Amino acid sequence: MTRRLCAALFLLPLLFCALGVQAQSTAILSNKDRHHAVHAANGMVASQEARATKVGVEVLRQGGNAIDAAVAVGFTLAVTLPRAGNLGGGGFMLLHHAASAETLALDYREKAPAKAHRDLYLDSAGNVDKARARFSHQSVGVPGTVAGLIAAHRRFGTLPLAAVMAPAIVLAEQGLTVTPSLARNLGRRQRRLSKWPASAAIFYKPGGALYQAGETLVQKDLAASLRRIAATAGEDFYTGDTARAITGSMARNGGLITLADLAAYRPVWRQAVRGSYRGFQIAAMPPPSSGGVHLIQMLNMLEQFPLAKMGHNGADSLHLMAEAMKLAYADRAEHLGDPDFWSVPIKGLTSKAYARSLAASIDPDQARASAQIRHGAPAPYESNETTHYSVMDGAGNVVSNTYTLNFSFGTGIVVPGTGILLNNEMDDFSAKPGVPNAFGLVGGEANAIQGGKRPLSSMTPTIVFKDGQPLLATGSPGGSRIITMVMQILLNVIDHNLNIAEATAAPRIHHQWRPDKLWVEQGVGPDTLAILRRRGHVVTPSRAAGSVQSVMRVAKGGGFLGASDPRSPGALSAGY
């Protein structure tokens, strides 16, 4: 069968699906009670936006595999969750392909344009110019999302690309019903978006009035961009009309991205970083994300302690977790950067022996001040507005994908004529050693700005295996907190035997070495907090953070469980 005929055959039900997702679907299971995971027999999708989840489920139902569904969800979120879903950003996809038994990491992180340089954001006094680093055309990294999603589809997809992208195109073209969450977020970010006429024209009514929940948001230019991408398998974005629109906008506004930068962009297939935890095997994202390395490093440290016996979110276990977090984030600041430019000691940082030495330095009764912690010496190398989704299919394929524009709506800049929002991922570089980025993260030489380099990330798409079989796919947005969130999901499931929905809802903590603060969400008891304070922790109340989206295979009895974080309204786990 030709690709064109396939596309025609598959397109029809998916188009109906795109229209159908406007209404509440009753044909699929959904997790109305978030503390009970959704169960489904054949496949499951968990994402931060319900319509995107439904598109993914429909792709599975039409015979697509988890990779087809993941690519469809990725393109759909660019339409339905514009604050984080994207074409103009980048991310990381971890996938397990059942037939070839391969687990691979696809790095489609943005790259610094060739003209970028170490002191790009320093003003004449040597201080970091935050506005230029975060909200200007110079903040934009060369986007990787389109190339990444297409690369995943090309290698492992089974449905035609046109079919997989059709629902996103329909939702952009015909408009989508504004949800309360979208209305609220557009209201919150009006200043950022309205600075740019092309952005204001799409996301606000004439005169700047806000869209209300229940009204329809149409994104015609975005639909046309998606069509060009579908017709050219992504070429248009990097060398065609879209590329020229992006570089034209750069040239008019002092941006750095050139046609040569776009044409040179390639996603990279990398080996997943591997570890184990109490008999479970972990596959996670390697650099330029710091996520996988430090997830495994922290788990290795915590494996030295009987966390299950200490109890879920008891003072002893929270103390140890916080100490492990500090040690890991101190190493992050020193050792992590783009592996194509910097020798990251992955093996050393993830070795059990190194973790044992770090764990031995933890005082079980007393917090160590961050000022007393320095990065370690592992064996030499041999936004907060990101979004994550997880997909599993009945054949055993798994996708765990986190991608982002960095901040909510990125720079806020839409490229005129394209409907495409641009990232501000350049702020994830260390603009000046020791000066924190928007997430309070510090860094040095390893993550210094350089043309063609990828900024360090914390995104942590993860797959957990048991006896070689995929068991759990999980991940979250949350900037610097992503790594510790994912770690707590794993501890909650493996050590504390919580079901995946309870594991997701449970209150979380976070420490990132600097600043020396232990952030604690609501729900940890005051007596526990008092013990932590007595041990020297600078306990700091935290707003609810993250949007963990997980799918878990039911080892006994078959089928899948899905859980969407109750912290973010509008998310949905669903299967069929």
Would you please indicate which residues are annotated as catalytic (active-site) residues? Answer: 386
Token readout for 81 is 């969750």
Q: How far apart are CA 375 and CA 305, in angstroms?
A: 22
Using rule CB under 6 A, residue 459 touches ligand GLY: yes
Using rule CB under 6 A, residue 428 touches ligand GLY: yes
Shortest distance in whole angstroms from residue 423 CB to ligand GLY? 8
Bond from prior residue into 515 cis (ω within 30 degrees of 0): yes
Using rule CB under 6 A, residue 404 touches ligand GLY: yes
CB 451 within 8 A of CB 113: yes
Using rule CB under 6 A, residue 512 touches ligand GLY: no
Residue 429 or 465 with smaller CB distance to ligand GLY: 429
Q: Which residues contact 273 (CB under 8 A, 6 or more apart)?
A: 105, 283, 284, 285, 286, 292, 293, 296, 346, 350
Using rule CB under 6 A, residue 93 touches ligand GLY: no
Residue 53 or 458 with smaller CB distance to ligand GLY: 458
Residue 30 or 401 with smaller CB distance to ligand GLY: 401
Shortest distance in whole angstroms from residue 291 CB to ligand GLY? 8
Shortest CA distance to 540 belongs to which of 291, 359, 322? Answer: 322
Shortest distance in whole angstroms from residue 175 CB to ligand GLY? 29
Phi, psi of 249 (to 5 degrees): -65, -35
Stretch that binds ligand GLY, among 114-122, 266-274, 451-459, 496-504 (CB under 6 A): 451-459
Using rule CB under 6 A, residue 450 touches ligand GLY: no
Token readout for 367 is 């917090």
3-state secondary structure 214-268: CCEECCHHHHHHHHHHHHHCCHHHHHCHHHHHHHHHHHHCCCCCCHHHHHHCCCE
Shortest distance in whole angstroms from residue 336 CB to ligand GLY? 11
Which string of x and - marks every residue 462-501 that binds ligand GLY (by CB under 6 A)? -----------------x----------------------
Among 136, 457, 484, 512, binds ligand GLY (CB under 6 A): 457
The residue number whose beta carbon is nearest to ligand GLY equals 457
Q: How far apart are CA 47 and CA 30, in angstroms?
A: 12
Shortest distance in whole angstroms from residue 478 CB to ligand GLY? 8
Instruction: Find the binding residues for ligand GLY in span 336-395 (CB under 6 A).
Output: 383, 386
Q: How many CA atoms lie within 13 A of 532 on its CB side?
A: 28
3-state secondary structure 108-126: ECCECCCCCCCCCCECCCC
Q: Please tell me the count of residues contacting ligand GLY according to CB under 6 A.
A: 10
Number of H helices and number of E strands within the chain? 21, 22
Shortest distance in whole angstroms from residue 486 CB to ligand GLY? 12
* Residues at the interface with ligand GLY (CB under 6 A): 383, 386, 404, 406, 425, 428, 457-459, 479
